[in-house]
Amino acid sequence: MKIRIQAEDLSFHYTDEEDNAISPEILKDLSLTLEAGSFVAVLGANGCGKSTFAKHMNGILIPTGGKMLIGEMDTADERYAYDIRQHVGMVFQNPDNQIVATIVEEDVAFGSENLGVPPEEIRQRVDDALKAVDMYAYRMHAPSQLSGGQKQRVAIAGIIAMRPSCIVLDEPTAMLDPKGRQEIMKTIRMLNQEYGITIVLITHYMEEAVQADRVIVMGDGNVLLDDVPEEVFSHVEEMKQAGLDVPQVTELVYELQKSGVQLDSRIITEEACTKALLELFA
Amino acid sequence: MLKDITIGQFFPGDSAVHKMDARFKLCMTLLFIVMLFMGKHLYSLIFGIVFCVLALVLSKIPFRLIWKSIRVLLPILAVTAVLDIFLIDGGDTVFKWHFIEITSDGVKTALLMVIRILVLLAGTSLLTYTTSPIALTDAIERLLNPLKKIHVPVHAFAMMMTIALRFIPTLLEETDKIMTAQKARGASFSEGNLLQRARSLVPILVPLFVSAFRRAEELATAMECRCYRGDVGRTKMRQLKAAGRDYAAMAVTLILFGTALVVKIIF
Amino acid sequence: MAVIEVKDLTYRYGIGTPFEKTAVDHVQLTIPTGAYVGIIGHTGSGKSTLIQHLNGLLQPTEGTVMLDGKDIWADKAEMRQVRFRVGLVFQYPEYQIFEETVFRDIAFGPKNMGLSEDEIHARVKEIAGIVGISDDMLEHSPFLLSGGQKRRVAIAGVMAMRPEVLILDEPTAGLDPRGREEILCEIDLYRKKTGATILLVSHSMEDVARHAEHILVMNKGSVFCYDTVQRVFSRAGELQKIGLAVPQITRVCAALRQNGLAIDENIYTVEQAKEQLLKLLRQKGVNRGC
């Protein structure tokens, strides 16, 4: 199913039982539309509200102002709570703290079991999901026997088995080594391209954001920049001010431009950079 | 050192015992325990021993693994046996030297106790060795299902057990890490009197608790994100289906149990 | 003068079981006093095992670890002194914080050293200044701080012992780009103020390239290479063969060179690349536009 995610003037602060604000405004009139099937990277310094925004996408948090719509479903409407969570899956930073069961395949089944899927179908979904993330050979392992990247792939499989239309990943690679990071990025791209699943990837790694079709930069509870990666990263000064980085090649191009060299500033990959520099010398 | 604990561990395998329905295994283990404690005589142990040996052979679990779990308790067992031998009076005197007197009843009680406990340990560790923790929890949940009618939170207990089992290795590893890190800051855990030693645990326990709470909170959110809402409308991938081998094994167990019962009543 | 000398270090674990493994295999290593060494390698390459030997948390199966020319295992009673002199910051150090106030947590190490109250106070203040912890923050509970601030408190806790050798195992893991750079600058500042030797374990080649002077590459329990940053990155091809990344800029320069551009082979920062390219452009007399 194709489902569009829409935030309309979203505001959020934490409240106590009597609805008094007990935190400053974390999201401030945030409006965004995420098209079905897209691959969106969300960047922002710590505390910019990106994790809070992520938790709104599946109704774990309910906006204090504005609306969050998943397709036609409003997250504030309790009747939709489980439908929304089935449609929008979440993967978190620490792979250890999201695996429930003591055996890989049991954990992958957990979500589908909660949804009340018939047993034979769960079996099928679990096998499919484990094959999709390339963890089928490990289906009988205990989570403690796996590497970080493998655990994170198990967590992703658990979400895929719920047949979501969108997966939100909140810094899924922050605790992984480079090898684990590559595994996760490969899996994410495959899910987006082959399964058509909408991907929302929150990350601190620019080389990961470069792979998305769209990059949203958040700062202070709102959107600072929102465009294709080439455009977003060409705003080198703004990115640095937001506490972020740009790929080294983009920085090089920016620095050369400052010294008067004429180059296209929309360069974010090694290949494009090499090509542009060679043309300069041709 | 913390990683060496094997009690309650599962050793995956493909034997008939591994494949059995955990509910049957659990019930049979209960019958086995009753069988062991039923008789007062040495020969009444024979039924429990037969059961245990049969199960052990069929499970293809190497005896050395069973021995490993038994070994831990041997010292305690030895001490109790010695106390039994010297303190229990009755029957014929087997040995006498000054005030020390060993009677046949003492020896019998000690033997009975030692064999009983050894077989008990072997049989029950066989259950955990051949049954994955999750299958075991699952079986307990299903066997206790009738209790849900009187509002016993069976599912919640089973879930808690699963999560506890899942996080034991994680928290052990974490404890190791925290200890090493505090040692690097000059903490020592083996110096001073009792009070000082207790106090030296604070730098380990506080971070451990903080981390456990953080993990619990994150896990709760992750479970919520995966539509967890207790056992309302929940299905299970693993269907426990009793097969021919389960009924056959249960029949054998019941025959053994019945015979043991008859023997107890008659003699 | 070498502050640390590792001779023929081997570490095996699980000896006598089927799980026996050699984590570190006959490693020779000399760390000059005051050096800044970046340590890189895959997970399981032995780098974490190696650094835990340098302050005696692990005992070598074979070989010796010398601190200032003395075997650290020669006198076990001196081991605590070794740990104060060789400070080790583990991964995610904020998970070891336990005291009620930031001040007391930073003071834990110095207190274990048996320093006087005044000395402890002075050290905590000094280190707090280095890692950017304000005076009023010192009286707060560390558990209420943000992730990045907690990390600083934890690092300060080791720095306050004022170790001559400071080893950090991925101190920037999980932080945002600004947080990463701040921590690395604070390490530089500590080094400048104390003249300490720094060993930085990192997965980020860019970070290592910017801050370290030497690089130790570990692979499969052995030293793959150990040299200056320039010379290590000039072997980019070999590093990539064992599955390690080199900075993006180094890869671009390698590609340019392959296409016939006369650019140096040991470029690893944007700054260097820029200078080289501008120089080459001037030589070519390429029109630099406006």
What DSSP assignment string belongs to chain C?
-EEEEEEEEEEEESTTSTT-EEEEEEEEEEEETT-EEEEE--TTSSHHHHHHHHTTSS--SEEEEEETTEETTS-GGGHHHHHHHEEEEPSSGGGG--SSSHHHHHHHHHHHTT--HHHHHHHHHHHHHHTT--TGGGGS-GGGS-HHHHHHHHHHHHHTT--SEEEEESTTTT--HHHHHHHHHHHHHHHHHH--EEEEE-S-HHHHHHH-SEEEEEETTEEEEEEEHHHHHTTHHHHHHTT----HHHHHHHHHHHTT----S---SHHHHHHHHHHHHHHHT-----
Nearest C-alpha in C relative to A45: C176
**Is residue C150 included in any domain, yes or no?**
yes
Q: What are phi and psi for residue C88, nearest 5 degrees?
A: -125, 120
Q: Give yes or no: residues A78 and A169 share one domain.
A: yes
Nearest-by-Cβ selection for C57 from B178, B184, B188: B184
Q: Which among A26, A37, A102 has a CA at the least distance from the CA of A66?
A: A26
Please indicate whether, in this complex, the C-beta atoms of C177 and A244 are within 8 angstroms of each other. yes
Residue C212 has a CB neighbour count (10 Å cut-off) of 23
Q: Give yes or no: residues A5 and A63 share one domain.
A: yes
Q: With 90 as the cut, is the pLDDT of residue B266 above it?
A: no
Contacts A179 to C, Cβ<8 Å: 42-43, 243
Rounded Cα distance between C227 and C234, Å, is: 11
Structure tokens at B230: 């207790």
Q: Give yes or no: residues C280 and C147 share one domain.
A: no
Q: Judge whether C215 and C201 are in contact, CB under 8 Å.
A: no
Q: Nearest CA of chain A to the CA of B225: how many Å? A: 6
- According to the model, what pLDDT value does residue A31 have? 96
Please indicate whether, in this complex, the C-beta atoms of B185 and C157 are within 8 angstroms of each other. yes
| Mean pLDDT of all residues belonging to chain B | 86
The CATH number that applies at residue C121 is 3.40.50.300
Q: How many CB pairs under 8 A join A and B?
A: 100
Question: Does the pTM exceed 0.95?
Answer: no
Q: Give yes or no: residues A170 and A77 share one domain.
A: yes
Domain count, chain B: 1
**Is residue A236 included in any domain, yes or no?**
no
Q: Using the 3D structure, point to which of A114, A141, A163 is the last residue of a domain.
A: A163
Q: Which among C245, C216, C287 has a CA at the least distance from the CA of C50?
A: C216
Q: Give yes or no: residues A64 and A191 share one domain.
A: yes
Q: Give yes or no: residues C191 and C106 share one domain.
A: yes
Which residues neighbour B145 within 8 Å (Cβ) at sequence distance 6 or greater?
A: B154
Q: Give yes or no: residues C200 and C279 share one domain.
A: no
Q: Give yes or no: residues A4 and A40 share one domain.
A: yes
Nearest-by-Cβ selection for A175 from C174, C261, C274: C174
Q: Give the up-direction half-sphere exposure of residue A253: CA atoms within 13 A in the CB hemisphere.
A: 29
Q: With 80 as the cut, is the pLDDT of residue B192 above it?
A: no
- According to the model, what pLDDT value does residue B84 have? 85
Q: Give yes or no: residues C231 and C261 share one domain.
A: no
Q: Nearest CA of chain B to the CA of A213: how many Å? A: 26
- According to the model, what pLDDT value does residue C286 have? 55
Q: Give yes or no: residues A87 and A15 share one domain.
A: yes
Rounded Cα distance between B258 and B243, Å, is: 23
Contacts A261 to C, Cβ<8 Å: 277-278, 281, 288-289
Domain of C270? 247-290
**Is residue B98 included in any domain, yes or no?**
yes
Q: Give yes or no: residues A103 and A183 share one domain.
A: no
Q: Using the 3D structure, point to which of A163, A179, A204 is the last residue of a domain.
A: A163
Q: Judge whether C82 and B184 are in contact, CB under 8 Å.
A: no
Please indicate whether, in this complex, the C-beta atoms of A85 and B226 are within 8 angstroms of each other. yes
What tens digit of pLDDT does each residue of A227-246 get? 999 999 999 999 999 989 99
Contacts B211 to C, Cβ<8 Å: 95
Q: In chain A, which residues have pLDDT < 70?
A: 1
Strands C2-13 and C21-32: antiparallel
Q: Give yes or no: residues A117 and A220 share one domain.
A: no
Q: Give yes or no: residues A67 and A129 share one domain.
A: no
Q: With 50 as the cut, is the pLDDT of residue B2 above it?
A: no
Please indicate whether, in this complex, the C-beta atoms of B166 and A116 are within 8 angstroms of each other. no
Q: Using the 3D structure, point to which of A204, A231, A258 is the last residue of a domain.
A: A231
Which of C252, C257, C261 to mutate to test binding with chain A, by most A CBs within 10 Å of its CB? C252
The residues pairing with A215 across neighbouring beta strands, listed in sequence order, are: A41, A227
Confidence of residue B263 (pLDDT cuts 50, 70, 90): confident
- Helix ranges (H only) for B39-153 are 46-59, 63-71, 74-87, 104-130, 133-143
Chains that touch B (3 or more CB pairs under 8 A): A, C
Residue A17 per-residue DSSP state? T
* Residue C171 in contact with partner chain B when CB distance is under 8 A: no
Q: Nearest CA of chain B to the CA of A159: how many Å? A: 7
Q: Judge whether A27 and A18 are in contact, CB under 8 Å.
A: no
- According to the model, what pLDDT value does residue C290 have? 42
Checking phi first, is residue B60 left (phi over 0); if not, alpha (psi -120 to 50) or beta?
left
Which of A58, A70, A96, A115 to mutate to test binding with chain B, by most B CBs within 10 Å of its CB? A96
Exposed (0-12), middle (13-18) or buried (19+): which is A19, by Cβ within 10 Å?
exposed
3-state secondary structure of A77: coil
Please indicate whether, in this complex, the C-beta atoms of B236 and A119 are within 8 angstroms of each other. yes
Give one DSSP letter per residue of B4-54, joined into a string.
G--TT------SHHHHS-HHHHHHHHHHHHHHHHH-SSGGGGHHHHHHHHH
**Is residue C179 included in any domain, yes or no?**
yes
Q: Give yes or no: residues A177 and A81 share one domain.
A: yes
Chain C contact residues (CB < 8 Å to A): 42-43, 146-148, 173-179, 203, 206, 243, 245, 247-249, 251-252, 255-256, 259, 261, 270-271, 273-274, 277-278, 280-281, 284, 286, 288-290
**Is residue C166 included in any domain, yes or no?**
yes
**Is residue C197 included in any domain, yes or no?**
yes
- Give the CA dihedral C126, C128, C132, C133, nearest 10 degrees: -140
Rounded Cα distance between A164 and C105, Å, is: 45
Provide the b/e sequence for C159-187 (b: ≥16 CB within 10 Å): bbbbbbbbbbbbbbbbbbbbbbbbbbebb
**Is residue B29 included in any domain, yes or no?**
yes
Q: Give yes or no: residues C196 and C270 share one domain.
A: no
Strands A88-91 and A166-170: parallel
Chains that touch C (3 or more CB pairs under 8 A): A, B
Please indicate whether, in this complex, the C-beta atoms of C280 and A281 are within 8 angstroms of each other. yes
Please indicate whether, in this complex, the C-beta atoms of A92 and B233 are within 8 angstroms of each other. no
Please indicate whether, in this complex, the C-beta atoms of C55 and B211 are within 8 angstroms of each other. no
3-state secondary structure of B229: strand
Nearest C-alpha in B relative to A83: B227
Structure tokens at A62: 């309910």
Contacts B11 to C, Cβ<8 Å: none
Which of B185, B190, B205, B213 to mutate to test binding with chain C, by most C CBs within 10 Å of its CB? B185
Please indicate whether, in this complex, the C-beta atoms of A119 and B132 are within 8 angstroms of each other. no
Residue B259 has a CB neighbour count (10 Å cut-off) of 14
Please indicate whether, in this complex, the C-beta atoms of A98 and B218 are within 8 angstroms of each other. yes
Q: Give yes or no: residues A9 and A82 share one domain.
A: yes
**Is residue B12 included in any domain, yes or no?**
yes
Chain B contact residues (CB < 8 Å to C): 174, 177-178, 180-188, 202-203, 206-207, 210-211
Q: Give yes or no: residues C234 and C259 share one domain.
A: no
- According to the model, what pLDDT value does residue C289 have? 46
**Is residue B252 included in any domain, yes or no?**
yes
Q: Give yes or no: residues C263 and C237 share one domain.
A: no
**Is residue C70 included in any domain, yes or no?**
no
Rounded Cα distance between C267 and C230, Å, is: 7
- According to the model, what pLDDT value does residue B1 have? 38
Structure tokens at A218: 């958040």
**Is residue C154 included in any domain, yes or no?**
yes
Please indicate whether, in this complex, the C-beta atoms of B225 and A58 are within 8 angstroms of each other. yes
Rounded Cα distance between C176 and A243, Å, is: 8
3-state secondary structure of B227: coil
Q: Give yes or no: residues C132 and C234 share one domain.
A: yes
Please indicate whether, in this complex, the C-beta atoms of A277 and C179 are within 8 angstroms of each other. no
**Is residue A33 included in any domain, yes or no?**
yes
Cα–Cα distances in Å, from C131 out to A242, B11, B73, B96, C150? 21, 49, 52, 77, 11
**Is residue C41 included in any domain, yes or no?**
yes
**Is residue A238 included in any domain, yes or no?**
no
Residue A269 per-residue DSSP state? S
Nearest-by-Cβ selection for B226 from A114, A140, A143: A114
**Is residue C60 included in any domain, yes or no?**
no
- According to the model, what pLDDT value does residue B193 have? 82
Q: Give yes or no: residues C216 and C262 share one domain.
A: no
Q: With 50 as the cut, is the pLDDT of residue B4 above it?
A: no
Domain of B116? 1-131+240-267
Domain count, chain C: 2
Please indicate whether, in this complex, the C-beta atoms of B211 and C143 are within 8 angstroms of each other. no
Chains that touch A (3 or more CB pairs under 8 A): B, C
Q: In chain C, which residues have pLDDT < 70?
A: 286-290
Contacts A101 to B, Cβ<8 Å: 134, 162, 166
Nearest C-alpha in A relative to B221: A60
Q: Which among B215, B184, B192, B187 has a CA at the least distance from the CA of B203?
A: B187
Which residues neighbour B149 within 8 Å (Cβ) at sequence distance 6 or greater?
A: none
What tens digit of pLDDT does each residue of B213-235 get? 999 999 999 999 999 998 888 89
Domain count, chain A: 3
Which residues neighbour A141 within 8 Å (Cβ) at sequence distance 6 or greater?
A: A103, A104
Nearest C-alpha in A relative to B160: A100
**Is residue B75 included in any domain, yes or no?**
yes
Domain of A274? 247-282
What tens digit of pLDDT does each residue of B91-142 get? 777 777 777 778 888 888 888 889 999 999 899 888 988 888 778 888 888 8
Nearest-by-Cβ selection for A100 from B132, B166, B229: B166
Please indicate whether, in this complex, the C-beta atoms of A85 and B224 are within 8 angstroms of each other. yes
Containing A73, the helix (H) or strand (E) segment is strand A73-74
Strands A222-227 and A214-219: antiparallel
Rounded Cα distance between B11 and A64, Å, is: 51
Nearest-by-Cβ selection for A101 from B166, B215, B229: B166
Angle at B52 between CA B46 and CA B57, to 5 degrees: 125
3-state secondary structure of A133: coil
Nearest C-alpha in A relative to C262: A281
Contacts A109 to B, Cβ<8 Å: 236-238
* Residue A110 in contact with partner chain B when CB distance is under 8 A: yes
Q: Give yes or no: residues A73 and A16 share one domain.
A: yes
Q: Judge whether C25 and C224 are in contact, CB under 8 Å.
A: no
Q: Give yes or no: residues C203 and C90 share one domain.
A: yes
- According to the model, what pLDDT value does residue A175 have? 92
3-state secondary structure of A190: helix
- According to the model, what pLDDT value does residue B165 have? 84
Nearest-by-Cβ selection for B207 from C57, C83, C95: C95
Which residues 49-68 on chain C approach chain B with CB closer than 8 angstroms? 52, 55, 57
Nearest C-alpha in C relative to B181: C90
Confidence of residue B3 (pLDDT cuts 50, 70, 90): very low
Structure tokens at B237: 């991938």
